[in-house]
Structure 1
Amino acid sequence: MVNYFEILFYLSIFLLSILSYYFCVKNNKSSSKRKGYKLPPGSMGWPYIGETLQLYSQDPNAFFINRQRRYGEIFKTKILGYPCVMLASPEAARFVLVNQANLFRPTYPKSKENLIGQSALFFHQGDYHNHLRKLVQASLNPESIRNQIPHIEELSITALNSWAGGHVVNTYHEMKKFSFEVGILAIFGRLEVHVKEELKKNYSIVDKGYNCFPTNVPGSPYRKALQARKRLGKILSEIIRERKEKKVLEKGLLSCFLNAKEEKGLLVLNEDQIADNIIGVLFAAQDTTASVLTWILKYLHDNPKLLECVKAEQKVIWQSNEQENHGLTWTQTRKMPITNKVVLETLRMASIISFTFREAVADVEYKGYLIPKGWKVMPLFRNIHHNPEFFPDPQKFDPSRFENALKPNTFMPFGSGVHACPGNELAKQEILVMTHHLVTEFRWEVVGSDSGIQYGPFPVPVGGLAARFWKESTTST
């Protein structure tokens, strides 16, 4: 039997899409004529959905690079219902993130804001953002990071020992567990095991739904993620209330939030604001650091001579610490030149943060093109990092390229401007500590695909790298 209601429903959706597309094009043209500027070149794809399906159905890096080759370093598209302008030059990135940052507010797709929390640091600008950023930086100052190194080292050794024995592990997933533990340490200090497990369980569900297509239907990963996000909010509220009541003196981000004083008319953060920012910091701290560590493992495995150089550098430190019976120190992590260049080249090559989201708060002109108010603007860090003009032979893993000064604004692994990652120093320490123990005490064999990690439509890996690990002393040669 023909379902006339269903046919009418889909016909209405189709007609509304055509009408919205028509008015969108008409408004864009009139705005362009009014300003005397034209829109950037590019394709807006299908009505409403734009080029979302193309982005989700292929390697996102290829999606952006192909369009840059076709249209140039500034082009338009439409993703998840939003008209976007993509920028693939250092000058354009600096224009948006630094020079004219006041004209572009930080923004993410609404589906992602809903999962993290709309009060999170990286969705805001102005006084509220500055207030939050100071609190985050206060909890991640050099002295705090120095004090955390022994704990990070303990977590590193525990994680590596759990992988040893020659069984296959998904390194990205395991590195995520490790970076999650470091994130918990930096935020809460000590935390009861059962509370940590509840946080971990619900955060994992949110994490799985974060990069899925945002369909809010029963049983979908995104719907499950929304439900888990509500549970996370309740768990965090209980932790906050308990610490307020007992006046627990733990060092970490939560303590900075709870002890924050009113500043420039900004009230003390409420529980929802604190919860949003804790989850935001966990997102920022976990996936990116785990990705870098996984790529380092792969690149070192694929470059045996480089691995030997890193091992030699780290062995000197390890042997000294064994003799003097103490762990890594802050000073030692600052004296790892070869390892540090490997980290920098990994950040360039993998470009974990492939792009960032901004939204024009007014009509903006850039190089003769109009960026209309309300359009999303995305500086493409990966495209810049892989431009042969700035990095010769960009597909080659070559840490020596960091022995020379780089052209300004061509290397932005942690973003740029007032919204650059405030936790980058902690991430670097975490990476250096884990790498130190990885190369001095363990051997590993990559058994996964040569292509390594596969990326989803947004800058977070969805796959992993399969590998076997052995303790150095028990590995046959």
Structure 2
Amino acid sequence: MVGILVYVLIFVLSLLLFITKRKGMKELYKRVELPPGSMGWPYIGETLQLYSRDPNVFFADKQKRYGEIFKSHILGCPCVMLASPEAARFVLVTQAQLFKPTYPKSKEHLIGPSALFFHQGDYHMRLRKLVQGSLSLDALRNLVVDISALAASALDSWIGGHVINTFQELKKFSFEVGILAIFGHLEIHYKEELKKNYRIVDKGYNSFPTSLPGTTYRKAQTARERLSKILSDIISERKEKRLLEKDLLGCLLNSKDEKGQVLTDDQIADNIIGVLFAAQDTTASSLTWIVKYLHDNPKLLEAVKAEQKEIYKMNGEGSQPLSWNQTRNMPFTSKIVLESLRMASIISFTFREAVADVEYNGYLIPKGWKVMPLFRNIHHNPEYFSDPHNFDPSRFEVAPKPNTFVPFGSGVHVCPGNEFAKLEMLIITHHLTTKFRWEVVGSQNEIQYGPFPVPLNGLPARFWKAQDN
């Protein structure tokens, strides 16, 4: 009898809770409305409008028409776009628990479901600390000489006056640097196998996700399986040697949670591939824009050369390697890097998904809708950056207003490798401006997206040693 009463009581309480919650939702829907905007055609929404023009113009026109919060329907998903620093902070920092990271399943499968940026909560925080630890300032200090050698070698391979695809060459460089940070000095046969299969996965990442034989995506799936096998061999070898390396692989292998649990080999592999993806295209895109902006602004290029040649002379005309302390004392070059990150805004926006109905500034963000903080719109807003389409590194002589400069995202999902990426940019800029000259070929102002913005055709250019005629 008592048992029956307990079940009845549970049922009644559950019913009351459901009615109260439903009433609360009705009250919320009565009190607030959806943001302004157009949802476009059924299902396809405004996807065609977005992809048939410059996405920056698409979002800027929307903001001009509707304000800093507006709705749309893109890639089969209803979305709310946010173009103010306060709104971005609301989603990414102060109320981050209400918005989960979201990625297409096709991309998640290629990288690996255990990669840290697909997660929230304790697992995400654990992995984030491990990645940050492997890329701490102390760890980066020990990588300067090796990154510098890789930069010098990459640039030397470009010389001769033949036209190169700057972006593709910088992708090769950033991949090598990523391998260095993850594995240290990896054996050449492992490196070549990783490189060969990673390129196939990279090519399939943004392809149409069909598993039909012969398709780019199917080839990427097969290459991803091979990557797992290669990484498993590397992990097994490292375990057998019982090395206590401080590279990322070492940090992942030696980690235990509060229950003493270690990461599985699959978890380690997913996070290694995730870091490679996060490190390669974004850094290579940023570096390509630095090459272009310096080419387009001769006076700024001369100022960077003057700063870097002083360091070059201190190092005996290159007979001594660049040092960590020198990379921390490049004030003008650092402003060039920051302004390049603002102007290019490689991460133009990020995707989140509302896990509950959320009210923001009198508008409803329904549960399940995608939410997109628009970083580029913030970076190009004249209210925060005067004459925003003009490349002007002097604007960073004063710190930007809070939350207006977020090239690496913000909150718990801010890029853990941001200092690592900036170090790469400083090092290659040092070598580029002290030893080389270059000329951009063809159109210099058009942009292509794949998905990150890069100059048209990857910025075709010719490079020569500085002293050559």
Instruction: Report Cα offsets for 1:19-70 as digits up to 9, x if no partner.
Output: xxxxxxxx9xx97974532111222223333222333332222222222222
Q: 1:227: which partner in 2?
A: 222
Amino acid at match of 1:432: L
Q: Which of 74, 82, 87 is the matching residue for 2:77? A: 82
C-alpha deviation, 1:383, in angstroms: 0.6
Tell whether 2:426 aligns with 1:396.
no
Tell whether 2:165 aligns with 1:167.
no
C-alpha deviation, 1:71, in angstroms: 1.9
Comparing 151-160 with 267-276, which one deviates more in the overlay? 267-276
Tell whether 2:116 aligns with 1:97.
no
The separation in 1 between residues aligned to 2:105 and 2:93, in whole angstroms, is: 24
Instruction: Report Cα offsets for 1:361-397 as digits up to 9, x if no partner.
Output: 1110001111111111110100100111111111111
Tell me: CA distance 1:164–1:383, structure 2 relative to 1, closer, same or farther (3 Å).
same
Tell whether 2:377 aligns with 1:376.
no
Matches of residues 125-204 of structure 1 in structure 2 within 5 Å? 125-204=120-199
The separation in 1 between residues aligned to 2:107 and 2:316, in whole angstroms, is: 46
Tell me: CA distance 1:444–1:370, structure 2 relative to 1, closer, same or farther (3 Å).
same
Amino acid at match of 2:356: A
Q: 1:207: which partner in 2?
A: 202
Amino acid at match of 2:124: H
TM-score, normalising length: structure 1:
0.89
Tell me: CA distance 1:117–1:196, structure 2 relative to 1, closer, same or farther (3 Å).
same
The separation in 1 between residues aligned to 2:168 and 2:112, in whole angstroms, is: 24
Amino acid at match of 2:463: F
Instruction: Report Cα offsets for 1:293-348 as digits up to 9, x if no partner.
Output: 11010000000011000000000000110169421111111111110100000000
SS at match of 2:80: strand
The separation in 2 between residues aligned to 1:220 and 1:368, in whole angstroms, is: 46
**Matched pairs, number:** 446
Amino acid at match of 1:224: K
Task: Check conservation: 1:190, 1:250, Cα contact below 8 A.
Answer: no
The separation in 2 between residues aligned to 1:138 and 1:95, in whole angstroms, is: 27
Runs of 5+ consecutive residues of structure 1 not aligned to the other structure: 1-26
Amino acid at match of 1:313: E
Matches of residues 8-157 of structure 1 in structure 2 within 5 Å? 34=29, 36-157=31-152
Task: Check conservation: 1:203, 1:228, Cα contact below 8 A.
Answer: yes
Task: Check conservation: 2:44, 2:74, Cα contact below 8 A.
Answer: yes
Task: Check conservation: 2:444, 2:459, Cα contact below 8 A.
Answer: no
Tell me: CA distance 1:286–1:80, structure 2 relative to 1, closer, same or farther (3 Å).
same
Task: Check conservation: 2:232, 2:269, Cα contact below 8 A.
Answer: yes
Comparing 241-250 with 142-151, which one deviates more in the overlay? 241-250
C-alpha deviation, 1:283, in angstroms: 0.9
Tell whether 2:281 aligns with 1:287.
yes
Tell whether 2:301 aligns with 1:316.
no
SS at match of 2:220: helix
* Percent identity over paired residues: 73
Runs of 5+ consecutive residues of structure 2 not aligned to the other structure: 1-21
The separation in 2 between residues aligned to 1:215 and 1:47, in whole angstroms, is: 23
Comparing 286-295 with 193-202, which one deviates more in the overlay? 193-202
User: CA RMSD for the aligned pairs?
Assistant: 2.0
SS at match of 2:100: strand
TM-score, normalising length: structure 2:
0.91
The separation in 1 between residues aligned to 2:63 and 2:408, in whole angstroms, is: 22
SS at match of 1:322: coil
Task: Check conservation: 2:408, 2:418, Cα contact below 8 A.
Answer: yes
Tell whether 2:461 aligns with 1:470.
no
The separation in 2 between residues aligned to 1:186 and 1:76, in whole angstroms, is: 40
Q: 2:9: which partner in 1?
A: none
Amino acid at match of 1:428: K
C-alpha deviation, 1:123, in angstroms: 1.2
The separation in 1 between residues aligned to 2:455 and 2:275, in whole angstroms, is: 18
